[in-house]
Amino acid sequence: MSVRRILLSGLALVAAAIFAQYVLKQRQDGGATITDWVKPDDKSGEFKRQQSIFRNSISKESGADFPAEKGRYHLYISHACPWGP
């Protein structure tokens, strides 16, 4: 197994763990659970994605939550992700 494949597998596991922590935190706070994504009376059978909660972006504007700086951010892509390239 190549080092790249091992790293990508590890990143996928980390992403899954972070998501699981998020879901557990939402449950503890009385927020949405993973089963809230499907409405019980919906008979269409299709997957309907919820609105994204990640709305911050990298910006050159002063006072931005994530200021644009060379070398500060890294993009990791997992080929295991169904939305990845």
Active site residues: 81
Which of 56, 3, 53 lies closest to 32, judged by CA? 53
Separation CA 72–CA 83 (nearest Å): 24
